Chain A
Amino acid sequence: MSAAPAGTMHHESIYSGGIASWLTTVDHKRIGVMYGVTALLYFIVGGVEALIIRLQLATPEGTVVGAEVYNQMFTMHGTTMVFLVLMPLAAAMFNFLIPLMVGARDVAFPRLNAFSFWTWFFGAILLNLAFFVNQVPDAGWFGYANLTSKQYNPGLGIDFWVLSLQIMGIASIASGINFTVTTLNMRAPGMSLMRMPLFVWMALIVQILMLLAFPVITVGLVFLLFDRFFDTNFYVAAAGGTPVLWQHLFWIFGHPEVYILILPSFGVVSEILPTFSRKPLFGAPFVIFSGILIGFLGFGVWSHHMFTTGLGPIADTAFSLGTMLIAIPTGVKIFNWIGTLWGGTIVMRTPLYFAVGMIALFIVGGLSGIMHASTPIDLQQHDSYFVVAHLHYVFFGGTVFGLFAGVYYWWPKVTGRMLGEGLGKLNFWVMFLGMNLTFFPMHFLGLDGMARRIYTYPAGVGWEQWNIVATIGAFVLSIGVLLFYINVVRSLRSGEPAAADPWDAATLEWSMSSPPPEYNFAVIPTVNSARPLWLHKYGPTRDISKHTKEDGTPPQPDHPVERVELPSPSHWPLIAAAGLTLAGGGTMIGLLPVLIGAAVLVVAVYRWAFQPLERPGNPVFGPGGGSG
């Protein structure tokens, strides 16, 4: 893609160019958009899987699907939502926003970033290929050992699941490295860690959690692969091993994964509340340190998923206490969010609706979480619909509402157009209603003894009415989500054009045009405040609400004053990712595809390593550049 000549409008062009320009892009903004679009498509897939589950359970003795397909549906629903929707949707925001928020022109390793995206993309396709060969994973998103052994689960379903998770794990670790370095090492002059936006802080903690948690699931999956492919004994009780080892490895990963899924949402809310309350985040350092504490404590509580395996009183007590401790930093955050709203000049826009909705729903999920931190209570609730209710209040109420708040908030920056405000509020209320209608009754079902993952239940045990309510709720929720997609399409077609800073916000990403120019910052800013744009617009006052905006123009000049060179597009990250996926997925077929995939990977990595980041013809802006 060639850059527009200096002196003309440039920002319409960052998404232009044919398919090849997307396949070879190394621009963090385009990669972010690709993550977002793909995740929102998989959101439909995961949602349809959920609706099939709810249809099956709508009535007793349901016959929509059989037990076998039902198992496949809840397995794919969980795996899809965690790895193909929530993580990549957060990754979309990390990609697009982190460089903009810290004042950088790209990430530390633009091609590695492309490699992460394509590796995840192919891994996600590999997982869903299972549907096309009708060998669908059916052991749950947690894949408990024994259910996954070759003996009890022959066929390729589990192999698809293991291999695609393994491949997507590589993508997560690669992007974890990339964004950790970007955040630590590419901040604009003056942006100390304590001046970093809260969203970037939470994103940094997420990267560290990914880097520490994914190797553990990798090892657990390696053991599983060896057990399945080479008859080893890692999870085989007869050989002296134990399936519980898998549970440990899975949850050492899985519990930090919960925070990997929720912290981005915390970050989003911490950005939105100040903007729409017209005052700084209340006690921002406490919110930061609570996030760090949640991240670290998150590694010490995994066994609370395993109380029913019989760990003994000492372990139960330790993990119980650790879990309850996490309520403290989480409570601190909620307190600070409410403190931010308190006394603020509230601007009731759609992002704030979703942010406040997130806080309310997350509190419900958090409270039920504290309930089963207690071992005796957990022994009653384990594997019941109570837990399903809890985790959906956290993941849907917490993560999805939080990320939707972020989508509504940053959509103008990404696309240059506003999302419809009326439709947005309708979207919120229908989703809010549907969410509570779907998941609140599950608390009652769980306390009434309905076990999760059962594909049907007999009539007359008292579960009928809440199940049909939940199913109706699921369809209301779907309509809510559909309204979001309608809003998106309408905005892209005919949305109101967005100004550079439509919300009068405080952070650097609002200092340039919407969408941002290819080089992000015409001039790398010098940061003197945690709220650099408010400082610029209002001076060092604490009272933002009393001031009218003096100056609507963003502080960024229209064009770079110095020469800016951007990295050249490269197709090697894509090819390397394809080789990796072929080598991994090929193990299900035979040696030949593995060898071909490995050869492609090696060639691509070498070509990539010896290809200069910036080559003749790369985008150049500013004096001496211009035509690129």
Chain B
Amino acid sequence: MNEIAEHQDGGHAARSTYWLVALILAIITLLEVAVFYVPFVRSAIAPILLVLSATKFALVAMFFMHLRYDRPILTAILSTGLVVAAAIIVALMLLFGALRLMAPA
């Protein structure tokens, strides 16, 4: 309890952490653009980009939005929305044939 209360009052990460996170975000963005331009195995591009994008998402949510230091209920609230939204996106893509679970023969 005390630990959490401390985070509550003391606020958040150090400023240097914010700069570091921003630097990592910039580097990942560069990587993403690189993946786009550098010829790769075609089927690997989308998964790599999705992982990079999810990493950026998580970094912003954890550090800039302070979820890492805040009460778990807030993470639970965001996760509820994210999980249902992701499920709906995948389900609709499958229904519209825009995504196949198995590679086309």
Chain A residues proximal to chain B, CB less than 8 Å? 184, 208, 211-212, 216, 248, 252, 299-300, 303, 311, 315
Contact = CB atoms under 8 A, between A and B. Distances in A.
A216 B91 CA distance: 14
B87 interface: yes
A172 to B, nearest CB: 16
Interface of B: 73, 80-81, 84, 87-88, 91-92, 94-95
A300 B87 contact: yes
Contacts of B95: 248, 303, 311, 315
Nearest to B81: A212
8 contacts: A212-B80, A212-B81, A248-B92, A252-B88, A299-B87, A299-B88, A300-B87, A311-B95
A424 B87 CA distance: 46
Contacts of B87: 299-300
Closest 8 A/B residue pairs (Cβ): A212-B84, A299-B84, A315-B95, A252-B88, A248-B92, A311-B95, A212-B81, A184-B73
Given A248-B95, A303-B95, A315-B95, A216 B80 contact: no
Contacts of A315: 94-95
A117 to B, nearest CB: 24
Contacts of B80: 208, 212
Contacts of A211: 81
Nearest to A216: B88
Contacts of B88: 216, 252, 299
Contacts of A216: 88
A184 B73 CA distance: 9
Nearest to B73: A184
B69 to A, nearest CB: 19
Given A299-B84, A299-B88, 16 more contacts: A184-B73, A208-B80, A211-B81, A212-B80, A212-B81, A212-B84, A216-B88, A248-B92, A248-B95, A252-B88, A299-B87, A300-B87, A300-B91, A303-B95, A315-B94, A315-B95
A216 B84 CA distance: 11
A96 B77 CA distance: 25
A530 B95 CA distance: 44
Nearest to A299: B84
Nearest to B101: A314
Nearest to A303: B95
B81 to A, nearest CB: 7
A300 B92 CA distance: 11
Contacts of A208: 80
A208 B79 CA distance: 13
A311 B80 CA distance: 27
A499 B73 CA distance: 39
Nearest to A242: B96
Contacts of B84: 212, 299
A192 to B, nearest CB: 13
Contacts of A311: 95
Nearest to B95: A315
A303 B91 CA distance: 10
A381 B88 CA distance: 27
Contacts of B73: 184
A2 B81 CA distance: 43
Contacts of B94: 315
A285 to B, nearest CB: 19
A219 B96 CA distance: 18
